[in-house]
Amino acid sequence: MKRLLSPAALALIGACTVAHAQYTDGVIRIGVMNDMSGTYSDLSGQGSVIAARMAVEDFGAAKKGMKVEIVGADHQNKPDVGSNVVRTWLDVDRVDVVVDVPTSSVALAVNQIVRDKNKVFLVSGAAASDLTGAACTPNTVHWTYDTWALANGTGQAIVKTGGNTWFFLTANYAFGLALERDTAAVVVKNGGKVLGQVRHPFPGTDFSSFLLQAQASRAKIIGLANAGSDTINSIKQASEFGIVKGGQNLAALLAFITDVHALGLQTAQGLIMTESWYWDLNDNNRAFAKRLAPQFKGIHPTMVHAGVYSAVTHYLKAVEALKSDGDGKAIVAKMKELPTDDPLFGQGTVRADGRKIHPMYLFEVKTPKESRGAWDYYKLRATIPADQAWRPLGEGGCPLVKS
């Protein structure tokens, strides 16, 4: 554990010194686990630890007599590493709730461990819709986005505007495969065709051979079922090959504002993407970004960071209502019972399958001329209402959903 918990990845919050008997050992411990040093470190990483700390502070935990500690760890995008960290957290360090966990293969592993230990899992970074489908548990809430919502937003919008033949370039692990699956289903449902796919190692660096296969397919749309630096490098190398100039278009099926920042507007302009949150969408979001960015190397928050803040806030509300942090299943049941409401996501609900419900947004990346300054990258194309943004409750195969 000491090897994984570097000083930069560890934050401790001391609330008041009064320990309340209703909380196990007098402390509520929140474990934020993600990629602190690799492909997802900017979109998640230490920024999620900061977001969790901000949520605890804004909730007023100290004033309410709740002592809260936050620990952070790097799972290195490896399921075995993530599983070992979480087991140690739950068995030795008495962590009550695990938060964030991008990389769906890690999240799916953690999902079962948390259920077995009857703790709580709040997913912000991972995307696989299976977390509220066949793999759903009474201890997990999937908060920010998922592969079904991304496919429903970006995939449907592109097919309806003429992008009716697709070839997928897919990260070869649970997230990429789920995103390809869900997007392909949307393409076919809306009258399009999938001409093929190729899977690349995760993480990857050289995408040339995969892009050449996509180019040879002559599909109108090359769907990038990857994320983080994999998406950035795919787009950069596609530009070098002149793929877009040749008449094909790229669809970044999961892209973050940190990816656009890394690409630059000259390269990223025109990309269409679906997200659940954008820092410049309203005053509350801008205020959050103004507080977080200076603590995170100037990086503006992504939807993952916002999701961590929102999920931790609602978790604390449920713990406060129960006056206990001991029974993870009971806490998640209370989270589903209580309506969600916070400055970043507004009002919403948590469904029986653990899916957090809120609107999604279809954005287009601005041209350099349209941008007013640093991090001003998106223009809103459409708002997808909450009742349309997510997979219908009865279609996921979650055993918690009564037929």
Q: Tokens 């990258």 label which residue?
A: 377
Query: Which of the four pLDDT bands, split at 50, 70 and 90, describes residue 388?
Result: very high
Q: How far apart are CA 253 and CA 250, in angstroms?
A: 9
Can you read off the two tokens belonging to residue 298?
A: 């100037």
Question: In whole angstroms, how far apart are CA 53 and each of 86, 93, 169, 279, 309?
Answer: 19, 19, 37, 18, 8
Strand duo 140-142 + 120-123: pairing: parallel
**CB within 8 Å of 312: residues ≥ 6 apart:** 30, 51, 52, 55, 56, 59, 99, 122
Mean pLDDT, residues 280-296 taken together: 98
Contact 87, 59 (CB under 8 A): no
What percent of the chain has pLDDT above 70? Answer: 94
The structure tokens listed for 38 are 């690799």
- C-beta of residue 121 within 8 angstroms of C-beta of residue 110: yes
Residue 32 in this model has a pLDDT that exceeds 60: yes
CATH class of the domain whose range is 148-275+359-389 = alpha beta
Question: Average pLDDT in the 159-181 region?
Answer: 94
- Ranges of CATH 3.40.50.2300 domains, the chain: 7-145+281-358, 148-275+359-389
Instruction: Tell me the pLDDT band of 22, cut-offs 50, 70 and 90.
Output: low
Cβ within 8 Å of residue 403, ≥6 positions away: 394
* CA–CA distance, 312 with 317 (Å, rounded to integer): 9
Give the tens place of pLDDT for each residue, 119-145: 999 999 999 999 999 999 999 999 999
CA atoms within 13 A on the CB side of 160: 8
What dotted CATH number matches 7-145+281-358? Answer: 3.40.50.2300
Q: Grade residue 239 by pLDDT with cuts at 50, 70 and 90.
A: confident
Q: Which among 301, 110, 308 is positioned nearest to 316, based on CA atoms? A: 308
Over range 223-242, report the average pLDDT: 91
pLDDT at position 240, please? Answer: 87
Q: State pLDDT tens for residues 337-374.
A: 999 999 999 999 999 999 999 999 999 999 999 999 99
Sheet with 378-384, strands from edge to edge, namely 272-275, 360-365, 378-384
Q: What is the mean pLDDT of residues 163-189?
A: 95
Give the mean pLDDT of 28-52. 97
- If you average pLDDT over every residue of the chain, what do you get? 92
Rg for the chain (alpha carbons), in Å? 20
Q: Does residue 44 surpass a pLDDT of 90?
A: yes
Reading the block at residue 20, the tokens are 């309340």
- For 241-268, the DSSP string reads TTTTTTT-EEEESS--HHHHHHH-HHHH
Q: Strands (DSSP E) along 79-230, which ranges? A: 97-100, 120-123, 140-142, 165-171, 193-200, 221-225
The answer to whether 70 touches 11, Cβ cutoff 8 Å, is yes
Q: Is the pLDDT of residue 55 over 80?
A: yes
Query: Judging by DSSP bridges, how do beta strands 360-365 and 272-275 pair with one another?
Result: antiparallel
